[in-house]
Amino acid sequence: MNVKNCKKCGNIFMFDGFDICQKCRRIREEEFQLVKNYLREHPKATIIEVEAETKVSVDSIEQFLREGRLEISKDSPIFLKCLRCGENNISSGKYCNKCLLDLKEELNSVAGNIYEDISTATQREIDNILMNIEKWKK
Ligand SMILES: [Zn+2]
Ligand SMILES: [Zn+2]
């Protein structure tokens, strides 16, 4: 049997492919709905306002955005930091478009033969490739 400590509450739970336990996932889902509904009614709210109104932490809101689950309107003031260049210029995912292009070029030079379709790779695929590159370097 595979048990794991929940990354959120620390309780031991039966591992089923997630980092957090079923209970925390349910809470997280409720938080997600709260934030989603709030942003639908207040598309121009800042992340601080969303936190204040929904009582969902900025960290959780950012995580929803990084996962690409939460969609925000074009004129929303909410931006995430690009994990590569550090600019606050993205509304979902991890990297800005410019960095994604750079990364793709970089990956093409190291992994181009293996990943033929790198120009159409999704962010998730790029993450996997990045992880592999780290492994090869070692
Ligand atoms: Zn938990
Ligand atoms: Zn960037």
Distance of alpha carbon 136 from the chain centroid: 25
CA–centroid distance, 91 to ligand 2, in Å, is 12
CA–centroid distance, 80 to ligand 2, in Å, is 10
Q: pLDDT by residue (tens digit) across 75-129? A: 899 999 999 999 998 988 888 989 988 887 887 777 665 556 666 677 777 777 7
pLDDT at 34 over 90: yes
> Can you tell me the distance from the alpha carbon of 82 to that of 74, in angstroms, rounded to the nearest whole number?
17
Q: Apex CA 98: angle with CA 97 and CA 103, to 5°?
A: 95
Question: What is 75-121 written as a DSSP string?
Answer: T----EE-TTT--EEESSSSS-HHHHHHHHHHHHHHHTTT-TTGGG-
